[in-house]
Amino acid sequence: MRIDAHQHFWEYNQMDYSWIDDSMHIIKKDFLPEHLILELTKEGFDGSIAVQARQTLQETTWLLDLSNDHDFIKGVVGWVDLKSRNVNSDLLHFSKHSKFIGVRHVVHDEDDDAFMLNKDFLKGISYLREFNLTYDFLLFPKHLPVAYQVAKMFPDQRFVLDHISKPLIKQQIFEPWEQDIKKLAGLPNVYCKLSGMVTEADWVNWQAKEIIPYLDVIMSAFGTDRVMIGSDWPVCLIAGSYLKVMSVVIEYINTFSTSEQNLILGNNCKRFYLLRD
């Protein structure tokens, strides 16, 4: 099974998606399952993981409702307020749905770089394992040391790093990102998504050769059994077509063994998120 481990859906409006500015005009419209399935089918992918784009409980409900109607949506990484007194009941409610597989918070938009070390947030993280849920780290490189602390606190909790933490690909800057990545990857409960890289490069002029050194770092740190391909569709469209974006990773792993390619293109995602066939 080939799985796109990271994509989004939305019905565009300026209030909910204020982060989409005029430079991203190409994604100022609706992106729904009927649009994605065309891309998945064309590129030989069997399904995808839908990830929250709004920090509301309504977003999680909406994504789960979409997954009811579209079998190719294999799982939903939703949002709940992990600092809330109601977090346990919210997790209990959503966990009744078989496709609710994990939680994400937009940490890189928080003013406090140590946001994840808030005691209430950590308490929320502590509930996830009870419901067999994962946590997606959405970070900038400066947050990696904090992510390491959090992942080390919860060795039995499954974490995955989105978008390789958005390094400065356009500027070709590697440090301290590289050393922090290696440290985080030293924790066996942390995986990494090979996603969101093109949008950290020059949207118009990027070339795969600029991204490959970053992939080299990730593969050296995490190995082939803890990484998974993701498109970050439709955000990725600001820098290239679905095919062009996914081809960066697909071509990079072309010389890997068939079993290693299968891990990166779907099996790791299936194992990490405990997906059903």
pLDDT score at 246: 98
Q: What mean pLDDT comes out for the span 37-47?
A: 97
Domain ranges within the chain, ordered by starting residue: 3-273
Task: Give residue 34's pLDDT band: very low, low, confident or very high (50, 70, 90).
Answer: very high
Task: Give residue 22's pLDDT band: very low, low, confident or very high (50, 70, 90).
Answer: very high
How many helices (H) and strands (E) the chain has is answered by 10, 8
- 203 vs 234: CA distance, rounded Å: 14
- Please state, in angstroms and as integers, the Cα–Cα distance from residue 155 to each residue in 109, 128, 137, 174, 252, following that order: 26, 12, 15, 27, 31
Q: At what angle do helices 33-42 and 242-252 cross, to 10 degrees?
A: 40
- 192 vs 161: CA distance, rounded Å: 5
Q: What mean pLDDT comes out for the span 127-147?
A: 98
- 3-273: CATH topology is TIM Barrel (3.20.20)
User: What token pair was written down for 257?
Assistant: 């063994």
Q: What is the pTM of this model?
A: 0.97
pLDDT score at 276: 81
In the predicted model, is pLDDT for residue 131 greater than 80?
yes
Sign of CA dihedral 205, 42, 234, 140: negative
pLDDT score at 5: 98
* 217: enclosing H helix or E strand: helix 208-222
Nearest to 139 by CA among 186, 180, 90: 180
In the predicted model, is pLDDT for residue 158 greater than 90?
yes
Q: pLDDT for 218-249, tens place per residue?
A: 999 999 999 999 999 999 999 999 999 999 99
- 100 vs 98: CA distance, rounded Å: 6
Assess contact for 189 and 155: CB atoms under 8 A: yes
Task: Give residue 210's pLDDT band: very low, low, confident or very high (50, 70, 90).
Answer: very high
Side chain identity at residue 69, one-letter code: D
- 162 vs 153: CA distance, rounded Å: 19
Phi then psi for residue 237, to 5 deg, are -65, -15
What's the angle, vertex CA 161, arms to CA 175 and CA 104, rounded to 5?
135
The mean of the pLDDT values for the chain is: 97
In the predicted model, is pLDDT for residue 194 greater than 80?
yes
Q: What mean pLDDT comes out for the span 98-123?
A: 97
Q: What mean pLDDT comes out for the span 263-267?
A: 98
Q: What mean pLDDT comes out for the span 81-105?
A: 97
